[in-house]
Structure 1
């Protein structure tokens, strides 16, 4: 499936990605720069970074299995995520930035107190590492099958690349890398979409719509309507919670320049989640026409449909370009992994090392320790991903749903409701997390999936298929955990009268900050706009130029032109950013 030219493209791309950290290294002058990009990032930087965090190799592998079987189901699912970002746009984006905090744990401390802050970071770090390891495992399983590298070696190599990005300038290099990676994903995926939909065997949009099987639009022919409807609705609720969660996607808004830029970033996410599923999933549907049996292409994969996107990309793209798509899938996962490393390093330095070990640590020492903890956490991430990959017994889609249902709901409730509702005592945060984890564990251990299907979803004595069983497991754990966590959170408000005056003042001060716009002059904010345009524009221009060199790879003329189109698009973005940079420098001089 891959040729020597593809391997060369992959190698060069990985080296380029590793270099991003070094290019941005001098930008990180203090801990704020390293852990939140200095709180001066522009909307288009954080918007693309947020979009990259929401995507991953999961989109092109695990989600592709559902697309291969149920077609438009996953597109509908992604579109149901759009309301989450509308809520962020109208109500939360500016409020999160205006907290004026460096790490998420700083916000938890202001809302719930120091004990909850420490409890939070030592629960959040393992949770983040588990999710980051899952992304690393997902992309490594795919790349191992596509490239032919042993799985454990693939995990090690990709883990080192992610570490290099995070080591450079921390959050600054992570966000800059996310923008570049997302540009590649959009350009590469759009190319696959156009070339797959225009295949002679497909016949354009009209031919595509004529060939789609019944299960692609009539989901009830594949899965019971009581299950797929409930799955979509619960997924929408969970996305609203997760996108609003300050400790998950909401953390991106801590890096934005101000509340106005934060809202622009949220608007970009709203548009992105409407367009991205079309670009990513339509080629997988085409693959089901071209390759009705993927086991012939991927005989060594436990679930061959996880390679559907790769199969159609290899079918429609010229030599060398397939390697770029492999890189795009890796790029889609980088954001989640390096964000997990950087965020956890921030907890370790700002909320543990600085508070308990070295209270007098200066900014230089905190920067050094940030990099030390990044390396330590990277070793843990690689080890955990290797362990998960070698002990996985279910498909990636089911596995990722299981991890999310166990890890996310217990943490998300206090991190969302705590910043929109004041009247709960100091112990609400940690106690809600404990109640949530207990509910998730007990549900997973003692609630029978078959019983839930029989009595809740109306299956009676009819057995569920593997798809239905996996969805029911996810829904039961998630729903029970959410209900228990939310109920407990608001139950604790009965004890609000016992809250000390000092804690009430702390909460009022936090909510007052959230309502107060950023004043760059009064708060002595550093203007790094020109730096962002310069560095990211240069990276895009260099990468685009390298892509255009693919014209030299021996292909037909039309196939050579694909490299010119793709490289030109990436370089064009870089050129626009550099043009804005020059105008800003001229205006400032």
Structure 2
């Protein structure tokens, strides 16, 4: 499937991605820079980084399996995510930034107290490691299928690349990398979409619509309506919770420079999730027309449909471009895997090392320890991902849903409701997490999937297929855990009258901060807008030029023009960013407007 030119492109691209950490290294001057980008990132940077989680390797592997079987189902599911980002846009985005914290655990401490902060980080760290390992495993399965390298070696190599990016400037270099990778993915995926739709075997948009199987629009052909409708609704609720969760996607808004930029970032995410599923999933549907049996293409894959996007990309893209798309999908997943590295390292340094081991540690020492903990966590991440990959017995889509249903709901409730409703006692946070994990464990252990299908979804004695069984497992665990966690959270409000005056003052101060806009002059923030335009613009310009050099790879004239087109778009974006950088640099030199760091 891949030629020598593709392997050369993959090697060069991985080196380019690793270099991003070194390029950004000098930007990280203190722990705030390393763990949250200094709280000065611009909306277009954090917006693209947020989109990376929705257009990563999971989208092109695990989600692609559902698209291959049920067509428009996943497009509808992604569109149902839009309400989550509208809620963030109108209410949460600016409030999260205005909390004025460096790590998520700082916010937990202000809301629930020191004990809950420590309880939280030692539960959150292994949870983040599990999620990060799942992402690393997912992208490694994709790369292994595409490149033909053994899975364990893929996990090791890709884990090292992720570590190099995170080591450079922490969150700053990860966000910068996300922007560059997302530029490549959007341009490349759009190219795949156009070339796939215009294939003679497809016949354009009209031909595509005529060839759509019944199961791609009438999902009841593939799955019981009681299940797929409930799955869509519960997925929408979970996306609202997860996107609003300060410890998950909500953490992105800690990096933006102020509430106004946070709202712009949320608006970008809202628009992105309307367009992303069309770009990513239509080619997979076309793949089902051209390759009805993917086991012939991927005979060594346990679940060949996980390689559906890879198959159609290889079918329509020129030699060399396939390797580029493969690498960009991996690199865009760095943001998701970074949860297990940079964010956890922030907990270890700011909320443990600085509080208990070395309270006198200065910024230089904290920055060093941030990199030390990043390496330690990276070794653990690679080990865990290898273990999961070698013991997985179900498909990626079902496996990821199982992990999310067990790990996310118990943590998400106090991290969402605690910052919109304040009349609960100090022990609400940790006790809600315990109740949630207990409910998840009880449900997974004692509630039979077959029994749930029989009595809840009306299957009776009729057996469920593997798709239905996986969805029922996800829904039962998630629903029971959410109901128990939310019920317990609000039950504890009955004890709010016993809260000490000191804790009430702390909560009131937090909520006041969340309503107070950032004042860059009064709060001595640093203006590094020009630096962001400069670094990201240069990275895009260099990558775009390298892409255009790909036209020298032996291909037909039309295929060479694909490299010119893709490289030209990326170069143009880099040129625009550098043009803005020059204007801002001139303005800054006239005003001498730098603020000192808070």
Q: TM-score range by the shorter chain?
A: over 0.9
Offset at residue 56 of structure 1 (A):
2.1
How many Å separate the matches in 2 of 1:233 and 1:454? 20
1:378-436 deviation digits (Å, cap 9, x = unpaired): 00000000000001011000000000000000000000000000000000000000000
1:158-184 deviation digits (Å, cap 9, x = unpaired): 000000000000111011011011111
Offset at residue 12 of structure 1 (A):
0.4
Aligned to 2:129: 129
Aligned to 1:287: 287
Q: Check whether the contact 2:553–2:560 (CA below 8 A) recurs between aligned residues.
A: yes
Aligned residues: 589
Offset at residue 332 of structure 1 (A):
2.9
How many Å separate the matches in 2 of 1:82 and 1:385? 31
Offset at residue 333 of structure 1 (A):
1.4
How many Å separate the matches in 1 of 2:339 and 2:542? 24
User: Structure 1 unaligned runs (5+)?
Assistant: none
How many Å separate the matches in 2 of 1:74 and 1:334? 23
SS at match of 2:341: helix
How many Å separate the matches in 1 of 2:131 and 2:182? 20
1:17-72 deviation digits (Å, cap 9, x = unpaired): 00000000000001000000000000000000111123321100010000000000
How many Å separate the matches in 2 of 1:10 and 1:203? 32
How many Å separate the matches in 1 of 2:150 and 2:70? 31
User: Structure 2 unaligned runs (5+)?
Assistant: 589-597
1:503-559 deviation digits (Å, cap 9, x = unpaired): 000000000000000000000000000000000000000011111110000000100
Q: Check whether the contact 1:174–1:339 (CA below 8 A) recurs between aligned residues.
A: no
Aligned to 2:539: 539
Q: Check whether the contact 1:9–1:323 (CA below 8 A) recurs between aligned residues.
A: yes
1:196-226 deviation digits (Å, cap 9, x = unpaired): 0000010000000000000000000100000
Offset at residue 587 of structure 1 (A):
1.8
Q: Check whether the contact 1:171–1:339 (CA below 8 A) recurs between aligned residues.
A: no
Q: Check whether the contact 2:340–2:381 (CA below 8 A) recurs between aligned residues.
A: no
Offset at residue 146 of structure 1 (A):
1.3
TM-score of the superposition, structure 1-length normalised? Answer: 0.99
Q: Check whether the contact 1:537–1:573 (CA below 8 A) recurs between aligned residues.
A: yes
Q: Check whether the contact 1:86–1:266 (CA below 8 A) recurs between aligned residues.
A: yes
How many Å separate the matches in 1 of 2:500 and 2:294? 63
SS at match of 2:333: helix
Q: Check whether the contact 1:245–1:412 (CA below 8 A) recurs between aligned residues.
A: yes
Offset at residue 325 of structure 1 (A):
1.5
Offset at residue 331 of structure 1 (A):
2.1
How many Å separate the matches in 2 of 1:318 and 1:43? 34
TM-score of the superposition, structure 2-length normalised? Answer: 0.98
SS at match of 1:393: coil
1:216-237 deviation digits (Å, cap 9, x = unpaired): 0000010000000000000000
1:139-161 deviation digits (Å, cap 9, x = unpaired): 11111121111111110000000
Superposition CA RMSD, Å? 1.1
Offset at residue 328 of structure 1 (A):
2.2
Offset at residue 586 of structure 1 (A):
1.6
Q: Check whether the contact 2:128–2:339 (CA below 8 A) recurs between aligned residues.
A: no
1:285-332 deviation digits (Å, cap 9, x = unpaired): 000000001000000001100000000000001100110111122123
Q: Check whether the contact 1:165–1:338 (CA below 8 A) recurs between aligned residues.
A: no
Q: Check whether the contact 1:141–1:151 (CA below 8 A) recurs between aligned residues.
A: yes
Q: Check whether the contact 2:443–2:476 (CA below 8 A) recurs between aligned residues.
A: yes
How many Å separate the matches in 1 of 2:478 and 2:298? 33
Offset at residue 463 of structure 1 (A):
0.7
1:95-152 deviation digits (Å, cap 9, x = unpaired): 0000000000000000000000000000000000100000000111111121111111
